[in-house]
Every structure is written in structure tokens, then in C-alpha cells.
Amino acid sequence: MINVPRIPLNDGNWLSAVGFGTWMMNDEQVRSAVVESAQLGYRLFDTAARYHNETGVGQGIVSSGLPREDIQVTSKVRGGDQGYEETLRAFEATRRNLGLEYVDCYLIHWPLPRLDLYVETWKALIHLRETGAVRSIGVSNFSTEQIDRLISETGVAPAVNQIELHPMFGQPQLRADNAERGVVTQSWGPLGRGEGMLEAEPLAAAAAAQGVAPAQVALRWIYQLGAYPIPKSGDQVRRQQNLDIFDFELTETEMAAIATLESGRLGKDPAVDEEF
Ligand SMILES: NC(=O)c1ccc[n+]([C@@H]2O[C@H](COP(=O)([O-])OP(=O)(O)OC[C@H]3O[C@@H](n4cnc5c(N)ncnc54)[C@H](OP(=O)(O)O)[C@@H]3O)[C@@H](O)[C@H]2O)c1
């Protein structure tokens, strides 16, 4: 079993350095995936109201048999539930679906600037943290300007900003801005979402030199940048690979070669695209 480092957060809590992504898995798939992943050493499971699989994630967590305090679950408020009262209601549904007393990390899924409700939504998250229903609160797909607005209007900085981040979209400025504000950067789509990135030459070359798989190189690259990936896999051998990134180190030359893959985002642009 792999021991995954715990990353300190600005609220005194911690975040597992690699988590397990669950997007596109249904309740049944995710239930067994969580149990099997926990056996490998995964301690963080990433879901969202929008993934419609919180029930399976929660059942998997209970079935894993691990002490509750050793395991973490992240969930997210979807766009259509933004607003103060709406978010409190949405959280109760999330908590009920998960079947857990508290949620470790609760994020605003997308900023949706056109709605201009993310500050009210953030106030609801602060309230949930104060009541103990949520341990850590954060955001996803937020820009520096949006994070600064949260801080200036509420005095509370997010613990986490979960953003698209992989060798084709390294987000150096946003990572630096997050770090300056004490916000931990978490990486979604770390493997390039299974869309061919892993075959690229710099990843293949580093993988051959290090004796690991290209996916491990991509995840290690993210980790060495000071960000924390949440890869998804339906396959137990790949899940093992994706967690096993702590006993090799990429050289500066390998890090730089991988950065040349920069070609832009694969997912939606949070400044203009909307997701409810
Ligand atoms: N906050 C947000 O807005 C947001 C957006 C997107 C995703 N997320 C979260 O981030 C998680 C990860 O992102 P993602 O699922 O989009 O993409 P990803 O983790 O980058 O890529 C998943 C793809 O990579 C393949 N894969 C996994 N491990 C592999 C390995 N070792 N070697 C080769 N291929 C491998 C998977 O196939 P197999 O399953 O067949 O192994 C799948 O096709 C999501 O599951 C979700 O929890 C958050």
C-alpha cells in the first residue's frame, strides 16, 4: 500500500497529495472503485453533485472499512444551486447522498460570473464550515480576480482552487497567484483526460528514463510544480500507477521538456462557458 503525503491547508486541515477522480462513473462503478482504490492507498475521493454519483462514493467510503478521519471526500456546489439559501439546501442533499456526517472539502464548482452569485455562495460555504458540516472550503475554476473578490468581501480565502492543469495547460500564473494567497492548487484532468497527451515524446522519454509509465510522469510533473492531481481510472493497474509517484524525481531538464507541451486548455473556459 502506498502512503500518500498530506498537504497542509490554510485552515489547519490537510489534503491528500493525490486523490481519485470519479467523473463519468455511475454509482455502481464508483462504489467498487472507491473500495479498490482505498486498498491501494487512495485517501481522497473527488465527486460533485453534478456527477450524480455521490451515493456510490459514500457507500464506497463506508465499505472501505477505513476510519472516517483517515479518508477525505470532496464535493461541489453546481452552478444551478448557487446563492446563499440554495447552497445550504444543495449541501444537505449532498450530505444525504453521501450518507456522511461531514464533508471534508466543499467547493464552488464553477464561478459563473454572469450570474454573479459566487460571493453569496461563498458566504454559505463559510457558514457550513462554521457549523462543522464541512471541514475545508474552496473553489474550482476560479480566476485570481474572483478569488481576490471572495477575500476582500468576506475575509476568507479558499483552502483549495481545483483547476484544469496538465502538461498541455500548466497554468503558471494562476498557480503562482494561488500560492501567494495560501490557496492550494489541485489539478483536474491531470492525464489530459485520456485524449492522447500521454503519447507525447517528452512524457515517453522521461518515462523510459525513469522506468515508469507516461501517466506517472505527468502526475509527478504536476506534483513537482506544487499542485495535487486527482486522476480518474476505471482500471486497478492504472490506479496503482497513478498513486505510485513518490519514489522518483524528474530532472529539471525533464520538467522543462514536458512544459513544452503547452498548447492550451482541453476543457471549458470558466470565463465564458457555463455549466449548471
Ligand atoms: N472541477 C472541475 O470542473 C472538474 C472538471 C473535470 C474533472 N474534474 C475531476 O478531475 C478528475 C480527473 O479528471 P478527468 O477524469 O477529466 O481526466 P483524467 O484523470 O486526466 O483522465 C482520465 C482518462 O485517463 C485514462 N487513464 C487513467 N489512468 C491512466 C494511466 N495510468 N495510463 C493511461 N491512461 C490512463 C482514463 O482511462 P481508464 O479509466 O480507462 O483508465 C481516462 O480515460 C475527474 O474524474 C473529476 O473528479 C473536475
pLDDT at 180: 98
Instruction: Using alpha carbons, select from 103, 73, 71 the residue that is nearest to residue 88.
Output: 103
pLDDT at 270: 95
- Residue (of 159, 227, 232) closest to 187 by Cα position: 227
**Tens of pLDDT along 153-189?**
999 999 999 999 999 999 999 999 999 999 999 999 9
- Reference 140, options 127, 150, 128; nearest CA is 150
Task: Compute the mean pLDDT over every residue in the chain, rounded to the nearest whole number.
Answer: 97
- For atom 27 of ligand 1, which residue has the closest CA? 233
The three-point CA angle 234-47-215 to 5° equals: 40
The answer on pLDDT for 194 being more than 90 is no
Residue 162 CB–ligand 1 contact under 6 Å: yes
* Domain regions of the chain by residue span: 6-259
Would you state the pLDDT for residue 275?
Answer: 87
Write out pLDDT tens, residues 18-32. Answer: 999 999 999 999 999
> For 55-66, what is the mean pLDDT?
97
Rounded to the nearest angstrom, the distance between the alpha carbon of 27 and the centre of ligand 1 is: 17
The model's pTM is 0.98
Residue from 23, 161, 240 to probe ligand 1 pocket by mutation (most atoms less than 8 Å from CB): 23
Write out pLDDT tens, residues 110-145.
Answer: 999 999 999 999 999 999 999 999 999 999 999 999
**Does the beta carbon of 241 sit less than 6 angstroms from any atom of ligand 1?**
yes
- Cα of 69 vs centre of ligand 1, distance in Å, is 26
User: 6-259, which class in CATH?
Assistant: alpha beta
pLDDT band for 208, please (50, 70, 90 cuts): very high
Q: Is the CB of 215 under 6 A from ligand 1?
A: yes
